[in-house]
Homo-oligomer: A and B are copies of this chain.
Amino acid sequence: MEETERYKRGWEIIERVDGQAGDRVMENVGSISPDMARFIVEFAYGDVWSRPGLDLKHRELVTTSALITLGHCEPEMKVHMNGMLRVGWTREELIEVIIHLSVYIGFPSALDALRVAGEVFAEADAG
Which of A's residues lie within 8 Å of B, judged by CB? 1-3, 25, 28-29, 31-33, 35-36, 39-40, 43-44, 47-49, 51, 53-54, 58-59, 61-63, 65-73, 75-76, 92-93, 95-112, 114-115, 117-118, 121
Contacts and interface: CB of A to CB of B under 8 A. Distances in A.
Count of chain copies: 6
Q: Is chain A's binding surface mostly helix, strand, loop or mixed? A: helix
A28 to B, nearest CB: 7
A45 to B, nearest CB: 9
11 contacts: A1-B2, A32-B118, A51-B99, A53-B99, A54-B97, A61-B61, A65-B66, A66-B101, A67-B104, A75-B111, A75-B115
